Amino acid sequence: MKLITPALQTYPWGSKTMLAQLRGEPAPTAQPEAELWFGAHRTAPSLVDGTGLDSLISTDPTSALGAAVESRFGAQLPFLLKILAAEAPLSVQAHPDSAQAQAGFDAENAAGIPLSSAKRNYKDPNHKPELLVALTPFRALAGLRPVADTLALIEHLDCAPLNRYAPFLHSDNEEEGLRALFTTWISLPRAKRLELIDAIYASAQSPSPEAEAWMVEAMACFIELNDRYPGDVGVLASLLLNYIELAPGEALFLGAGRLHAYISGMAVEIMASSDNVLRGGLTSKHVDVPELVRICDFTTQADPRIATTTSTAPYGEATEYPVPIEDFVLTRHRLYPSAGALQVGDGGAGSDAGAGPGAGSGAGPGILLCTKGAVTCGSGEAIDLKAGSAAWIPADDGPFSVRAAGHEVAEVFYARVAL
Protein backbone atom coordinates (compact mmCIF):
# COMPACT_ATOMS: atom_id res chain seq x y z
CA MET A 1 0.00 0.00 0.00
CA LYS A 2 1.35 3.39 -1.03
CA LEU A 3 0.12 6.95 -1.21
CA ILE A 4 -1.16 7.94 -4.64
CA THR A 5 -0.93 11.44 -6.10
CA PRO A 6 -4.03 12.19 -8.20
CA ALA A 7 -4.07 13.95 -11.54
CA LEU A 8 -5.91 17.27 -11.25
CA GLN A 9 -8.17 18.27 -14.15
CA THR A 10 -9.00 21.98 -14.47
CA TYR A 11 -12.09 22.16 -16.68
CA PRO A 12 -14.15 25.38 -16.95
CA TRP A 13 -17.16 23.84 -15.16
CA GLY A 14 -15.10 23.04 -12.06
CA SER A 15 -15.04 24.80 -8.70
CA LYS A 16 -12.49 27.17 -7.20
CA THR A 17 -13.44 26.11 -3.68
CA MET A 18 -14.86 22.58 -3.34
CA LEU A 19 -11.82 20.39 -3.98
CA ALA A 20 -9.46 22.82 -2.27
CA GLN A 21 -11.61 22.95 0.86
CA LEU A 22 -12.00 19.17 0.88
CA ARG A 23 -8.21 18.82 0.90
CA GLY A 24 -7.66 21.57 3.44
CA GLU A 25 -5.91 23.84 0.93
CA PRO A 26 -6.28 27.59 0.32
CA ALA A 27 -9.39 28.68 -1.54
CA PRO A 28 -10.42 30.10 -3.91
CA THR A 29 -7.95 28.62 -6.35
CA ALA A 30 -6.58 30.46 -9.38
CA GLN A 31 -8.54 28.31 -11.80
CA PRO A 32 -11.55 26.00 -11.56
CA GLU A 33 -10.63 22.53 -10.26
CA ALA A 34 -13.00 19.96 -11.74
CA GLU A 35 -11.74 16.42 -11.08
CA LEU A 36 -9.12 14.47 -9.17
CA TRP A 37 -8.25 11.27 -11.07
CA PHE A 38 -7.10 8.29 -9.04
CA GLY A 39 -6.17 5.67 -11.61
CA ALA A 40 -3.94 4.56 -14.45
CA HIS A 41 -5.66 5.98 -17.54
CA ARG A 42 -2.95 7.07 -19.96
CA THR A 43 -4.56 10.48 -20.47
CA ALA A 44 -3.69 11.48 -16.89
CA PRO A 45 -2.27 8.68 -14.72
CA SER A 46 -1.87 9.11 -10.98
CA LEU A 47 1.63 8.97 -9.51
CA VAL A 48 3.04 6.53 -6.97
CA ASP A 49 6.47 7.53 -5.66
CA GLY A 50 6.76 9.87 -8.65
CA THR A 51 6.06 7.15 -11.24
CA GLY A 52 2.88 6.89 -13.29
CA LEU A 53 0.56 4.17 -12.06
CA ASP A 54 0.15 2.99 -15.65
CA SER A 55 3.91 2.44 -15.87
CA LEU A 56 4.01 0.57 -12.56
CA ILE A 57 1.26 -1.76 -13.73
CA SER A 58 2.82 -2.41 -17.15
CA THR A 59 6.18 -3.23 -15.52
CA ASP A 60 4.73 -6.08 -13.43
CA PRO A 61 1.02 -6.53 -14.17
CA THR A 62 0.66 -9.81 -12.29
CA SER A 63 1.89 -8.34 -9.01
CA ALA A 64 -0.08 -5.14 -9.50
CA LEU A 65 -3.36 -6.62 -10.74
CA GLY A 66 -3.34 -10.28 -9.77
CA ALA A 67 -3.62 -13.16 -12.21
CA ALA A 68 -7.42 -13.14 -12.33
CA VAL A 69 -7.71 -9.43 -13.19
CA GLU A 70 -4.83 -9.56 -15.68
CA SER A 71 -6.41 -12.55 -17.41
CA ARG A 72 -9.79 -10.83 -17.72
CA PHE A 73 -8.77 -7.24 -18.51
CA GLY A 74 -5.18 -7.43 -19.71
CA ALA A 75 -2.33 -5.35 -18.26
CA GLN A 76 -4.53 -2.41 -17.26
CA LEU A 77 -6.41 -1.24 -14.21
CA PRO A 78 -10.04 -1.67 -15.35
CA PHE A 79 -11.49 1.22 -13.36
CA LEU A 80 -10.89 4.95 -12.86
CA LEU A 81 -11.84 6.58 -9.55
CA LYS A 82 -12.50 10.33 -9.34
CA ILE A 83 -13.67 13.11 -7.10
CA LEU A 84 -15.78 15.45 -9.22
CA ALA A 85 -16.65 19.05 -8.30
CA ALA A 86 -19.15 20.85 -10.55
CA GLU A 87 -19.80 24.56 -10.09
CA ALA A 88 -21.47 24.77 -13.51
CA PRO A 89 -23.33 22.21 -15.65
CA LEU A 90 -21.35 19.62 -17.58
CA SER A 91 -22.19 18.80 -21.18
CA VAL A 92 -25.16 16.67 -22.22
CA GLN A 93 -23.36 13.45 -23.01
CA ALA A 94 -23.36 9.68 -23.28
CA HIS A 95 -20.69 6.99 -23.35
CA PRO A 96 -20.25 4.00 -25.68
CA ASP A 97 -20.48 0.30 -24.96
CA SER A 98 -17.44 -1.93 -25.53
CA ALA A 99 -18.16 -2.75 -29.19
CA GLN A 100 -18.91 0.88 -30.06
CA ALA A 101 -15.77 2.09 -28.28
CA GLN A 102 -13.51 -0.41 -30.05
CA ALA A 103 -14.99 0.39 -33.46
CA GLY A 104 -14.82 4.14 -32.88
CA PHE A 105 -11.25 3.99 -31.55
CA ASP A 106 -10.10 1.94 -34.52
CA ALA A 107 -11.88 4.23 -37.02
CA GLU A 108 -10.37 7.41 -35.60
CA ASN A 109 -6.92 5.81 -35.52
CA ALA A 110 -7.33 4.79 -39.16
CA ALA A 111 -8.39 8.33 -40.03
CA GLY A 112 -5.18 9.63 -38.48
CA ILE A 113 -6.85 11.75 -35.78
CA PRO A 114 -4.26 12.29 -33.02
CA LEU A 115 -5.21 11.08 -29.53
CA SER A 116 -4.58 14.62 -28.33
CA SER A 117 -6.96 16.18 -30.88
CA ALA A 118 -9.90 18.17 -29.50
CA LYS A 119 -12.04 16.56 -32.23
CA ARG A 120 -11.35 13.05 -30.99
CA ASN A 121 -14.41 11.16 -29.68
CA TYR A 122 -12.71 7.90 -28.75
CA LYS A 123 -9.51 8.19 -26.73
CA ASP A 124 -9.41 4.49 -25.86
CA PRO A 125 -11.18 1.24 -26.85
CA ASN A 126 -13.07 0.86 -23.54
CA HIS A 127 -16.68 1.23 -22.53
CA LYS A 128 -17.57 3.72 -19.81
CA PRO A 129 -20.37 2.72 -17.44
CA GLU A 130 -20.21 4.94 -14.36
CA LEU A 131 -21.40 5.13 -10.77
CA LEU A 132 -21.67 8.47 -8.97
CA VAL A 133 -22.04 8.82 -5.17
CA ALA A 134 -22.86 12.28 -3.83
CA LEU A 135 -20.56 13.86 -1.23
CA THR A 136 -22.65 17.06 -1.08
CA PRO A 137 -26.18 17.74 -2.33
CA PHE A 138 -25.77 16.93 -6.02
CA ARG A 139 -27.98 17.83 -8.97
CA ALA A 140 -28.07 15.98 -12.26
CA LEU A 141 -30.05 15.27 -15.40
CA ALA A 142 -29.87 11.53 -15.94
CA GLY A 143 -31.72 9.07 -18.11
CA LEU A 144 -34.63 9.69 -20.46
CA ARG A 145 -37.83 10.33 -18.55
CA PRO A 146 -40.81 8.01 -19.19
CA VAL A 147 -42.69 9.24 -22.26
CA ALA A 148 -46.02 9.64 -20.45
CA ASP A 149 -44.40 12.04 -17.98
CA THR A 150 -42.74 14.08 -20.71
CA LEU A 151 -46.07 14.39 -22.52
CA ALA A 152 -47.62 15.60 -19.25
CA LEU A 153 -44.86 18.17 -18.89
CA ILE A 154 -45.46 19.43 -22.44
CA GLU A 155 -49.17 19.71 -21.67
CA HIS A 156 -48.52 21.77 -18.52
CA LEU A 157 -46.10 24.06 -20.34
CA ASP A 158 -48.92 24.79 -22.81
CA CYS A 159 -46.47 26.22 -25.34
CA ALA A 160 -47.78 26.21 -28.92
CA PRO A 161 -44.38 25.84 -30.66
CA LEU A 162 -43.51 22.95 -28.33
CA ASN A 163 -46.89 21.27 -28.76
CA ARG A 164 -46.09 20.72 -32.43
CA TYR A 165 -43.48 18.15 -31.42
CA ALA A 166 -45.73 16.12 -29.08
CA PRO A 167 -46.85 13.74 -31.88
CA PHE A 168 -43.33 12.27 -31.96
CA LEU A 169 -44.01 10.88 -28.48
CA HIS A 170 -47.31 9.30 -29.46
CA SER A 171 -45.44 6.72 -31.51
CA ASP A 172 -46.27 3.03 -30.99
CA ASN A 173 -42.55 2.54 -30.43
CA GLU A 174 -41.50 4.85 -27.56
CA GLU A 175 -37.80 4.35 -28.21
CA GLU A 176 -38.07 5.30 -31.87
CA GLY A 177 -40.29 8.24 -31.03
CA LEU A 178 -37.73 9.62 -28.59
CA ARG A 179 -34.93 9.03 -31.06
CA ALA A 180 -36.83 10.91 -33.77
CA LEU A 181 -37.68 13.82 -31.46
CA PHE A 182 -34.14 14.14 -30.10
CA THR A 183 -32.65 13.93 -33.59
CA THR A 184 -35.09 16.55 -34.87
CA TRP A 185 -34.37 18.97 -32.03
CA ILE A 186 -30.59 18.78 -32.25
CA SER A 187 -30.79 19.19 -36.04
CA LEU A 188 -32.97 22.32 -36.03
CA PRO A 189 -31.56 25.38 -37.83
CA ARG A 190 -30.29 27.88 -35.28
CA ALA A 191 -33.01 30.47 -35.87
CA LYS A 192 -35.79 27.91 -35.44
CA ARG A 193 -34.12 26.42 -32.37
CA LEU A 194 -33.85 29.84 -30.72
CA GLU A 195 -37.49 30.57 -31.48
CA LEU A 196 -38.55 27.28 -29.87
CA ILE A 197 -36.36 27.72 -26.79
CA ASP A 198 -37.52 31.30 -26.27
CA ALA A 199 -41.16 30.20 -26.38
CA ILE A 200 -40.58 27.36 -23.88
CA TYR A 201 -38.56 29.71 -21.67
CA ALA A 202 -41.47 32.13 -21.51
CA SER A 203 -43.94 29.36 -20.66
CA ALA A 204 -41.65 27.89 -17.99
CA GLN A 205 -41.60 31.21 -16.11
CA SER A 206 -45.17 30.65 -14.94
CA PRO A 207 -45.84 26.98 -14.12
CA SER A 208 -49.47 25.90 -14.03
CA PRO A 209 -50.91 25.65 -10.48
CA GLU A 210 -51.68 22.01 -11.29
CA ALA A 211 -48.04 21.23 -12.16
CA GLU A 212 -46.48 18.54 -9.99
CA ALA A 213 -43.33 19.31 -8.02
CA TRP A 214 -41.06 17.43 -10.45
CA MET A 215 -42.48 19.48 -13.33
CA VAL A 216 -41.71 22.74 -11.55
CA GLU A 217 -38.15 21.48 -10.96
CA ALA A 218 -37.77 20.52 -14.62
CA MET A 219 -38.95 23.96 -15.74
CA ALA A 220 -36.60 25.70 -13.29
CA CYS A 221 -33.73 23.59 -14.59
CA PHE A 222 -34.59 24.52 -18.18
CA ILE A 223 -34.50 28.22 -17.22
CA GLU A 224 -31.19 27.80 -15.36
CA LEU A 225 -29.52 26.04 -18.28
CA ASN A 226 -30.75 28.58 -20.83
CA ASP A 227 -29.54 31.45 -18.65
CA ARG A 228 -26.05 29.92 -18.71
CA TYR A 229 -26.07 28.56 -22.29
CA PRO A 230 -28.62 30.71 -24.18
CA GLY A 231 -30.19 28.87 -27.09
CA ASP A 232 -27.94 25.83 -26.75
CA VAL A 233 -29.30 22.56 -28.14
CA GLY A 234 -28.56 20.92 -24.79
CA VAL A 235 -31.18 23.14 -23.19
CA LEU A 236 -33.81 21.45 -25.37
CA ALA A 237 -32.45 18.01 -24.53
CA SER A 238 -32.95 18.73 -20.83
CA LEU A 239 -36.72 18.57 -21.34
CA LEU A 240 -36.43 14.83 -21.99
CA LEU A 241 -34.24 13.92 -19.00
CA ASN A 242 -34.98 13.12 -15.37
CA TYR A 243 -34.02 15.94 -13.01
CA ILE A 244 -32.50 14.43 -9.88
CA GLU A 245 -31.26 15.76 -6.56
CA LEU A 246 -29.02 13.37 -4.63
CA ALA A 247 -28.39 13.66 -0.90
CA PRO A 248 -24.88 12.78 0.35
CA GLY A 249 -24.41 9.02 0.12
CA GLU A 250 -27.09 8.55 -2.55
CA ALA A 251 -25.97 7.26 -5.93
CA LEU A 252 -26.92 6.84 -9.55
CA PHE A 253 -25.62 4.42 -12.16
CA LEU A 254 -25.39 5.17 -15.88
CA GLY A 255 -24.84 2.35 -18.31
CA ALA A 256 -23.70 2.66 -21.91
CA GLY A 257 -25.62 5.12 -24.05
CA ARG A 258 -27.51 6.82 -21.21
CA LEU A 259 -27.85 10.56 -21.74
CA HIS A 260 -26.92 12.69 -18.76
CA ALA A 261 -25.59 16.06 -17.63
CA TYR A 262 -24.28 16.74 -14.14
CA ILE A 263 -25.33 20.18 -12.92
CA SER A 264 -23.75 20.97 -9.57
CA GLY A 265 -22.19 19.47 -6.46
CA MET A 266 -19.29 17.26 -5.40
CA ALA A 267 -19.24 13.47 -5.71
CA VAL A 268 -17.12 10.36 -5.89
CA GLU A 269 -17.33 8.86 -9.37
CA ILE A 270 -16.04 5.49 -10.53
CA MET A 271 -16.14 4.19 -14.07
CA ALA A 272 -14.53 1.73 -16.40
CA SER A 273 -11.08 3.10 -17.27
CA SER A 274 -12.14 5.26 -20.19
CA ASP A 275 -12.26 8.88 -21.33
CA ASN A 276 -14.72 8.34 -24.21
CA VAL A 277 -17.39 11.05 -24.28
CA LEU A 278 -19.96 11.86 -26.99
CA ARG A 279 -21.33 15.36 -26.37
CA GLY A 280 -24.55 16.97 -27.53
CA GLY A 281 -24.51 20.45 -26.01
CA LEU A 282 -23.91 22.67 -22.96
CA THR A 283 -20.21 22.77 -23.76
CA SER A 284 -17.52 24.54 -25.71
CA LYS A 285 -15.85 21.19 -26.37
CA HIS A 286 -16.22 19.02 -29.47
CA VAL A 287 -19.85 18.09 -30.22
CA ASP A 288 -20.59 15.19 -32.58
CA VAL A 289 -24.36 14.96 -32.90
CA PRO A 290 -24.61 12.09 -35.41
CA GLU A 291 -22.25 9.91 -33.36
CA LEU A 292 -24.06 10.74 -30.13
CA VAL A 293 -27.40 9.73 -31.64
CA ARG A 294 -25.86 6.53 -33.00
CA ILE A 295 -24.59 5.31 -29.62
CA CYS A 296 -27.50 6.55 -27.48
CA ASP A 297 -29.82 4.20 -25.65
CA PHE A 298 -33.30 5.66 -26.10
CA THR A 299 -35.08 3.40 -23.63
CA THR A 300 -36.53 5.33 -20.69
CA GLN A 301 -35.75 5.21 -16.97
CA ALA A 302 -38.15 6.19 -14.24
CA ASP A 303 -35.24 6.80 -11.87
CA PRO A 304 -31.51 6.07 -12.41
CA ARG A 305 -30.79 6.11 -8.68
CA ILE A 306 -29.69 2.76 -7.32
CA ALA A 307 -30.84 0.99 -4.19
CA THR A 308 -28.11 0.79 -1.58
CA THR A 309 -27.56 -1.49 1.39
CA THR A 310 -26.11 -0.10 4.63
CA SER A 311 -25.10 -2.32 7.53
CA THR A 312 -23.49 -1.64 10.88
CA ALA A 313 -20.08 -2.91 11.94
CA PRO A 314 -17.94 -2.44 15.06
CA TYR A 315 -15.92 0.23 13.23
CA GLY A 316 -19.03 2.11 12.06
CA GLU A 317 -21.11 1.30 8.97
CA ALA A 318 -20.70 0.07 5.41
CA THR A 319 -22.75 0.95 2.33
CA GLU A 320 -22.80 -1.16 -0.81
CA TYR A 321 -23.55 0.23 -4.29
CA PRO A 322 -24.45 -2.76 -6.48
CA VAL A 323 -23.83 -2.33 -10.22
CA PRO A 324 -24.37 -4.79 -13.11
CA ILE A 325 -20.77 -4.83 -14.36
CA GLU A 326 -17.45 -6.50 -13.51
CA ASP A 327 -15.02 -3.60 -13.99
CA PHE A 328 -15.44 -2.18 -10.50
CA VAL A 329 -17.02 -2.47 -7.08
CA LEU A 330 -17.33 0.49 -4.72
CA THR A 331 -18.18 0.51 -1.02
CA ARG A 332 -18.43 3.43 1.40
CA HIS A 333 -17.28 3.04 4.99
CA ARG A 334 -17.91 5.40 7.89
CA LEU A 335 -15.44 4.89 10.72
CA TYR A 336 -16.18 6.08 14.24
CA PRO A 337 -13.48 7.40 16.59
CA SER A 338 -12.23 4.90 19.19
CA ALA A 339 -14.09 2.07 17.46
CA GLY A 340 -12.94 -1.14 15.76
CA ALA A 341 -10.94 -1.34 12.55
CA LEU A 342 -12.12 -1.95 9.01
CA GLN A 343 -10.34 -5.14 7.92
CA VAL A 344 -9.58 -5.33 4.20
CA GLY A 345 -8.13 -8.23 2.24
CA ASP A 346 -9.10 -11.13 4.48
CA GLY A 347 -12.58 -11.81 3.13
CA GLY A 348 -14.18 -9.42 5.60
CA ALA A 349 -13.67 -11.73 8.58
CA GLY A 350 -10.82 -10.08 10.45
CA SER A 351 -10.25 -10.62 14.15
CA ASP A 352 -11.38 -7.06 14.84
CA ALA A 353 -14.96 -7.79 13.80
CA GLY A 354 -14.47 -7.75 10.06
CA ALA A 355 -14.96 -5.24 7.31
CA GLY A 356 -18.66 -5.51 6.68
CA PRO A 357 -20.18 -6.25 3.27
CA GLY A 358 -17.96 -6.16 0.25
CA ALA A 359 -14.69 -5.14 1.87
CA GLY A 360 -12.80 -8.41 1.74
CA SER A 361 -10.93 -10.36 -0.95
CA GLY A 362 -7.41 -9.19 -1.56
CA ALA A 363 -7.15 -11.06 -4.89
CA GLY A 364 -7.15 -7.91 -6.99
CA PRO A 365 -5.99 -4.29 -6.97
CA GLY A 366 -7.74 -1.54 -5.07
CA ILE A 367 -7.73 2.15 -4.21
CA LEU A 368 -8.72 3.44 -0.78
CA LEU A 369 -9.95 7.04 -0.90
CA CYS A 370 -10.58 9.20 2.16
CA THR A 371 -13.34 11.80 1.78
CA LYS A 372 -13.88 12.94 5.37
CA GLY A 373 -11.77 13.20 8.49
CA ALA A 374 -8.58 11.16 8.62
CA VAL A 375 -7.65 7.48 8.84
CA THR A 376 -4.60 5.38 9.61
CA CYS A 377 -4.20 2.25 7.52
CA GLY A 378 -1.73 -0.51 6.70
CA SER A 379 -0.51 -3.91 7.84
CA GLY A 380 3.08 -2.91 8.56
CA GLU A 381 4.24 0.69 8.37
CA ALA A 382 1.14 2.85 8.83
CA ILE A 383 -0.10 5.24 6.15
CA ASP A 384 -2.18 8.26 7.11
CA LEU A 385 -4.89 9.51 4.78
CA LYS A 386 -6.83 12.74 5.08
CA ALA A 387 -9.80 13.95 3.07
CA GLY A 388 -8.96 14.06 -0.64
CA SER A 389 -6.05 11.62 -0.42
CA ALA A 390 -5.85 7.95 -1.38
CA ALA A 391 -3.70 4.83 -1.29
CA TRP A 392 -2.89 2.37 -4.08
CA ILE A 393 -3.23 -1.28 -3.06
CA PRO A 394 -1.56 -3.72 -5.48
CA ALA A 395 -2.90 -7.25 -5.66
CA ASP A 396 0.14 -8.75 -3.98
CA ASP A 397 -0.37 -6.70 -0.80
CA GLY A 398 -1.53 -8.58 2.26
CA PRO A 399 -4.56 -7.79 4.45
CA PHE A 400 -4.63 -4.40 6.16
CA SER A 401 -6.75 -2.47 8.61
CA VAL A 402 -8.22 1.05 8.57
CA ARG A 403 -9.03 3.09 11.68
CA ALA A 404 -10.42 6.55 12.24
CA ALA A 405 -7.74 8.98 13.38
CA GLY A 406 -8.66 11.90 15.57
CA HIS A 407 -11.98 12.70 17.16
CA GLU A 408 -14.37 12.92 14.22
CA VAL A 409 -16.13 10.38 12.05
CA ALA A 410 -14.03 9.45 9.04
CA GLU A 411 -15.25 8.28 5.64
CA VAL A 412 -13.46 6.17 3.05
CA PHE A 413 -14.43 4.65 -0.29
CA TYR A 414 -12.87 1.33 -1.27
CA ALA A 415 -12.69 0.70 -5.04
CA ARG A 416 -11.71 -2.63 -6.52
CA VAL A 417 -12.57 -5.12 -9.28
CA ALA A 418 -15.53 -7.49 -9.03
CA LEU A 419 -14.04 -10.96 -8.46
Catalytic residues: 279
Report how far residue 262's alpha carbon sits from residue 411's, in angstroms, rounded to the nearest whole number: 23
DSSP state letters, 311-336: EEETTEEEEE---S-SS-EEEEEEE-
93 is in an annotated binding site: yes
Cα distances (Å, whole numbers) of residue 284 to 12, 90, 178, 234, 362: 9, 10, 25, 12, 43
Report the residue count for the chain. Answer: 419
130 is in an annotated binding site: yes
Strands (DSSP E) along 56-212, which ranges? 79-86, 92-94, 130-134, 138-144
Measured at the alpha carbon of residue 219, what is the angle toward residues 301 and 90, in degrees to the nearest 5? 65
Report how far residue 272's alpha carbon sits from residue 246's, in angstroms, rounded to the nearest whole number: 22
Report how far residue 260's alpha carbon sits from residue 90's, in angstroms, rounded to the nearest whole number: 9
Rg (CA), the chain: 22
- Amino acid identity for residue 245 in this structure: E
Report how far residue 165's alpha carbon sits from residue 147's, in angstroms, rounded to the nearest whole number: 13
Helix (H) or strand (E) holding 203: helix 190-204
170 is in an annotated binding site: no
Residues ≥6 apart with Cβ < 8 Å to 222: 200, 201, 204, 235, 238, 239
41 is in an annotated binding site: no
Closest CA to 118 of 360, 298, 283, 345: 283
Q: Do residues 239 and 281 make contact, with C-beta atoms less than 8 angstroms apart?
A: no
- For residue 363, count other CB atoms closer than 10 A to its CB: 16
Q: Which residues are annotated as a binding site for Zn(2+)?
A: 93, 95, 130, 260
